[in-house]
Amino acid sequence: MARRGDPPEEGPEGLPGGDDEYRSVVFDESFVQAARVQEYSAVERMGDHARAVRSLPAVRRGGSGQVLLVVVLVAVAFAGAVYLGLRQPQQPAASRPAEAMRMTLTSLAPRGQVPGGTPRQVLDNGPAADYRSGAEGLAMPAVRRTAHFTEAQVTAALATVKDYLVASSLDPDVLTGGEVRAVRALLHPDQLAQFDRAVADPAADGRHAMTGWIVRFDPEHVALADREVRVRGALQVTEGASGALEVTSDHTFAYALKPAEGAAARKAGASLFTVRRELHFRLDRDDLRQRRVEVLAGDTQAGPQDCAADATAVLRPLLAGERAGTEGPAGTDPYAPGPPAAALCGTLSAEALPDPEAP
């Protein structure tokens, strides 16, 4: 009796089965040895599928179509950007010609004799006692973006204006008749000719006064008694109708001065000299990239000095113990807030002078 799982003795009726079917097939030893065994490669075993993989022309045609689609999309995007740019004429221009600077200078004459003392006395016992020292007095305002300029661009504009004020009002070399290249390097190229003429041939024509661009003392008669300069003021920035940033600076600078070497000796010591500068700047996008300013206008009040003295090339301070030969029409205090007086000559009020006798 056959057990479950044993192969049947014979195949089903009518069907070949068992070993009888293959008994007629006999492979002798010589046939087996002469047989050649060949193993197909993976690509050959794939048969017809290999041709689909090798169909490179189809891939190239598809890639070319994708590249063409990308080119079309880029062209459409570029055309849209140009169209939107033409539709927004309010966008500020990158660069434009600069205007000539306009300037006024008001000499402030003292009513009496100029008081003197040590450099510390005239600085610490005068109206500038609470002012900050040097560039620390050029405080930066809170920065906010405008319609077309970011906070970073507004900050850059204020920083460039501050650099101009430091170079033109605080640099000891500039103050005492030295090089002005640091100031010139910050100016718009269209204003360089005007600046150079003011340096070479200053004139009281409202355009070419050297003292409209920088603070400079007569080096033949005056020297710095102390390199420290006291400063207080403010900076304001807005976006103007021209599509550029407009910055206004209004600062009062207090200097301790003494007679220059070789000048007549005076026992009165140092004296306080005050310069109030209100300047208007404009900076467009190109100016921001080039780190330069366009100085539109400047209004300077300086004293004590004689109103009869020519102060277009250099300021001519009256030192301790000296008096003015002429006096201005009205008292003017450069430390007082509000717009500066428009007169070309004024009187320096007593409140603007130090009190060396103060403890």
Angle at 33 between CA 28 and CA 35, to 5 degrees: 100
Residue 335 has a pLDDT of 79
Show the tokens assigned to 26.
Answer: 């006999």
Nearest Cα residue to 293 out of 198, 161, 190, 156? 161
Q: What is the pLDDT of residue 38?
A: 57
Contact between 278 and 295 (Cβ < 8 Å): no
Compute φ and ψ for 69, nearest 5 degrees.
-65, -40
Residues 150-161 pLDDT 10s: 999 999 999 999
Over residues 46-61, the pLDDT tens digits come to: 555 545 445 445 445 5
- Which has the closest alpha carbon to 169: 246, 92, 276? 276
pTM: 0.71
Question: Mean pLDDT in each 10-residue stretch from start to end of the chain (359 residues)?
Answer: 50 50 56 58 55 49 66 72 50 66 94 92 93 96 94 97 98 96 97 97 94 96 96 96 93 96 68 97 96 97 93 95 72 67 71 70
Cα-only R_g, the chain: 44
How high is the pLDDT of residue 207? Answer: 94
Structure tokens belonging to residue 243: 């599509």
Amino acid 248: pLDDT: 97
The pLDDT score that the predictor gives to residue 89 is: 41
What pLDDT is attached to residue 30?
61
Per residue, the 3-state secondary structure of the chain, as one string, reads: CCCCCCCCCCCCCCCCCCCHHHCCCCCCHHHHHHCCCCCCCHHHHHCCHHHHHCCHHHHHHHHHHHHHHHHHHHHHHHHHHHHHHHCCCCCCCCCCCCCCCEEEEEEEEECCCCCCECHHHHHHCCCCCCCEEHHHHCCCCCCCCCCCCCHHHHHHHHHHHHHHHHHHHCCHHHHCCCCCHHHHCCECHHHHHHHHHHHHCCCCCCCCCHHHHCCCECCCCEEECCCCCEEEEEEEEEECCCCCEEEEEEEEEEEEEEECCCCCCCCCCEEEEEEEEEEEEEECHHHHHHCCEEEEEEEEEEECECCCCCCCCCECECCCCCCCCCCCCCEECCCCCCCCCCCCEEEECHHHCCCCCCC
